[in-house]
Structure 1
Amino acid sequence: MLYEIFNAVGPVASIRVCRDAVTRKSFRYGYVNFHSVADAERALDTLNYMSIRGRSCRIMWSQRDPTLRKTGAGNIYVSNLDKNIDNKALYDTFSLFGNILSCKVASDPTGKSHGYGFVHYESADAAQQAIERVNGMMIGEQQVKVCLFQKRDREAEKENYTNLYVKSFPSDWDEEKIKETHRKTTLQQDQQA
C-alpha cells in the first residue's frame, strides 16, 4: 500500500515498515527511500498529513544523527491547543518561522487531541521566533502557550518513587504472602546491617 502511494510521486527505491522482532506487529512508522532528492521533496510537500487507513500520515526527513533530537535544541511545546487543531494546522501555523523537522499534536489512539503538541525546528533561532510571535495568540478558539520544550529529568523523579513493580513470583502467592516475604527480607537486611 505504501509503495503504491509513494511511487505515484516518483520512483521508490525501497520501503521498510518497522516491526517488533518477536510479534511482527508494526510500530506504525517506516522509511521510504527515493532514487532522487527531488522526488523525496515532492512526497514531503504533497503527501504530508494525508490520511492512510484513517490516520494522518506525518512525513519528515530521516535524521540519522540523533544529536539534534536528543539535545532538544529548536524544540518547542505548544499547550492549550483547540481540540480541532490537527497536525497539519499546527504545521501550517508554525512553518512561517523556519524549517520544521517534526510537528505533532498529541492525541489518543482514536485521533482525539490531548490539547498540546510539539514543533521541532532545524534551528534554535526559528524556535525562539515562533515562541515570541505565537505565545498568547489565539489559534482556533484557544489562546495558546508556547515555550521551549523542557526534557523531564527522570533521575530526579526516581527519588520520589514509592511504588514497586514485582514480577515472577509464584502464581499461588496472594497479596499477604508478598507482604510477608517483604517483611522477612527487610528484617534480614536490617539484621545484617
Structure 2
Amino acid sequence: MDAKQNDKEVSLYLGNLDPKVDETLLYELFVQFAPVKSIRLPKDKVLRRHQGYGFVEFFNVKDCEYVLNICSGLSLYDKVLRVKKLIGGQTETPELDEDIGPVVYVGNLDKLVDSGSISATFANFGTFRKPPQVVPGEKSNHAFIYYTDFESSDEAIKEMNGKIIMNRPIKMDYAYKKDSKEKHGDRTERLLYEKARENNFELEQLKKR
C-alpha cells in the first residue's frame, strides 16, 4: 500500500462548512478528539474563500475512525457537518454540498395544485434535475422546483412571479438553503455549481433540499 493511499485512510472529508469556518477553527475543534496532522480547505480561485468543504488528516487509522464515529451530527454555526471517510480519488474531486444548485420556491398555490400541474406549467423554462415537490399548507400549498441550470430558474422567476394560477397570484423566488438564512442563486453558488458541471460531476449527486 503506497503513501498516497495511507494518507487517504487517515483523512476525513468535511462538507457543509459555513463560510465563517477556517483552518484554525477546525484544528481547535478536531484536536480535542485526536492529534491532527493537517487541515486543508480548498479555496475558489476567483473569490479566494473556501468552497464549503475541506479535509482533516490524522496520524493513524484508529484516530481517524474514532473521530468519524463521534462527529455524527456535529454542528458549526448552526450547520450540521457532513463527515465522511475518503475513498478512491475523492481527495481532489470531493462531492459538493447537497444544497448547491437552482431551487425555486413557488408560494400561494391553490390547494388543488399538485406536482403534475407544476411540472406541466414550468417545464417550458428548462429541464428538471428531479421532479418538483409540492408541500401542502393550511391555507395554501407551496412548491419547490429543481432546474438543471440557473438560466432556466432565472427565466422562470422573471416570467412567472405574480402570474395567476387557479385564480391565485403566485409568489416566486429562490428558496432558502437548508439550515440557512441565505437563498439559493447567489454568486458563490452559481460559480460552484458551474464548476461542478464543467468538471463532469454527476448532477444526481448534487441533492437539494
Same fold (TM > 0.5): no
- For this structure pair, what is the TM-score category when the shorter chain's length is used for normalisation? 0.3 to 0.5
Bigger relative CO (Cα 8 Å, ≥ 6 apart):
2
Structure holding more helix per residue: 1
* TM norm structure 1: 0.41
* TM norm structure 2: 0.39
